[in-house]
Structure 1
Amino acid sequence: MRYLVFSSLVVTSALSGCSLYYESQAKDMIQRQMDAMVFVEGGEFMMGNPGGWDGSKDSWPPHKVVLDDFYIQKYEVTQGDFELFMAVTGYEHSNSSYESLRDHSPDRFQSSFPAVVSWKDASDFCEWLGSQTGKAVELPTEAQWEYAARSGGKPFRYATENGDAKEGVTMAARPSQYRRQNKSLPQPPGSYPPNLLGLYDMSGNAAEWVRDYYHADYYERSPVNNPKGPESPIIESWSNEPFRVLRGGDFRDFSGNTTVTRRKAIERATNESTGFRCSLLKI
């Protein structure tokens, strides 16, 4: 694996308006986020469910995809780092129910857990990271995410070292008795072994936002080279928000719902199961 070596000297002066304490903390956080970028050599793979990996019709058919080189973070962004971003920038969470969700489930908002975010929050964080470093940081595309989860497009069903899943060993065991009580929680990113690229928690923990709009039949017409998802969204009727793709399953899912091909579609709303990591096309 190869990591992006990033110099803190390129952090812009946009942080200068905040307190010295927050400025120092923010610079350290930016350095940490960029140091977590793992190089992924591009290549060709068959994206999607080859048969029997999950029960979703939208992960079919398998189709050839060719990707350029890119970087992706080895960890999910934590709640603590996202809250520091909000404190430094004055950013307001995009979901009006954020505070009520936090009041209802305070344990889920521990600083070491994956950040609780909407799609917009995740995208804004990555873009802010890019604005502070002069790099084109953004959410990964769905194709980049799956290719990375599969350790460079290998025929792996799960994002583990050998493609197999064993609850409590390669990923967290789902506490079924707690799920009924709505008390299950994720783990701090990096709690279980990574895949062959050194990427953690791409099967389970938090369902991760990717850049793409969601169309159930997109795989039937996806381009081969560097697909970026549908050009136009499907709008959710009650929220008037576009459906986006979540990948990887979450801490409430059994292992069969955390395969590398499993797709979820929700509009941008925040809930306890979501998280994200950022990507970078060029250094």
Structure 2
Amino acid sequence: MRYLVFSSFVVTSALSGCSLYYESQAKDMVQRQMDAMVFVEGGEFMMGNPGGWDGSKDSWPPHKVVLDDFYIQKYEVTQGDFDLFMAVTGYEPSDSRYEQMRNKAPKRFSDHLPAVASWIDAKAFCHWLRRETEAKTSLPTEAQWEFAARSRGKLTKYATLEGQAIPNKTMAPGPEQFVRDRYPYKGMLPLKPGTFPPNLLGLHDMSGNVSEWVSDKYLEDYYERSPVKNPKGPKEGQKDIFDGDSYRVVRGGNFHDFEGNTTVTRQKGSETLAEDTRGFRCGMN
């Protein structure tokens, strides 16, 4: 097997089951995904809600966490790259409504915008990168995500360069600044990843744009029992009472809620369902 070496990572050139055109495009895309990995030196921080910014119960209490070094992508994965992944692998989205959603809101599925993906889809993409490289790529853990968003755990409310939320300057505006036909969400879209300046680690859009899937199962009171060293979430989490799907943690707020875009915003979502307000980025240990 032949390898391409760059940026200390190794990417395989073997992509099976696709046309030469898609194979060439996929090689370039895999390399671009790996080039976007940012090294984060591990350390100790108070995870949760140390600044008292978020009133939700599930972001409490603040608790000490110690993390090893890891990597996380500087951008959210785009729809164009996710579509190419599906074309190359024949992957089918886990959400049966996916094509209906695309037909109903085609602009939201533009190539340059954050990918619309369920947790299952996001995991599949990151694990595909793992198969095509010699890197241990996956969705970041919730602790890794927050540590990176807060620039190695600094006491900062927003994941921006100076910790401030300024519409159209440091992060995307919310529905209050976008009202159409008296309906605040009608026609609203996230922006191209990287539109605004990054945080101190060079990571873009970790406050706002789209909420991001992390690897952890969701449990409302998990912070009360989280281990200190490299927590990975509960073994058993809460499930959707209607279909039995496991809930997974979603972090970072989204373009429907400007005030909810703090680094400690913590939500849940059924792992098989995609929403236009959710996306993802991959990490690596």
Percentage of matched positions with identical amino acids: 61
Deviation sequence 1:70-115 (CA, Å, 0-9, x none): 0000000000000000000010111100011111111100000000
* CA positional deviation for 1:136: 1.1
Deviation sequence 1:228-271 (CA, Å, 0-9, x none): 000112111112100110000011112x2010011001212111
CA contact (8 A) 1:6 1:31 kept: no
Give the partner amino acid of 2:238: I
Between the aligned partners of 1:181 and 1:62, the Cα distance in structure 2 is 33
Match of 2:207 among 203, 206, 210: 203
Aligned length: 275
SS at 2:44 equivalent = strand
Between the aligned partners of 1:234 and 1:181, the Cα distance in structure 2 is 29
Give the partner amino acid of 1:126: C
Match of 2:191 in 1: 187
Match of 1:231 in 2: 235
Between the aligned partners of 2:199 and 2:256, the Cα distance in structure 1 is 21
SS at 1:145 equivalent = helix
Larger CA deviation: 233-242 vs 62-71: 233-242
More helix by share: 1
**1:11 matched to 2:8:** no
Deviation sequence 1:206-225 (CA, Å, 0-9, x none): 10000000111000000000
**1:277 matched to 2:278:** no
Assess, with a 3 A threshold, how the Cα gap between structure 1 residues 181 and 51 changes in structure 2: closer, same or farther: closer
Give the partner amino acid of 2:140: P
Match of 2:129 in 1: 129
Give the 5 Å matches for 1:220-259. 220-254=224-258, 256-259=259-262
Give the partner amino acid of 1:246: V
Question: Which structure 1 residue ranges, 5 or more long, are not aligned?
Answer: none
Give the partner amino acid of 1:260: T
Give me the TM-score of the superposition, normalised by structure 1. 0.94
Give me the TM-score of the superposition, normalised by structure 2. 0.94
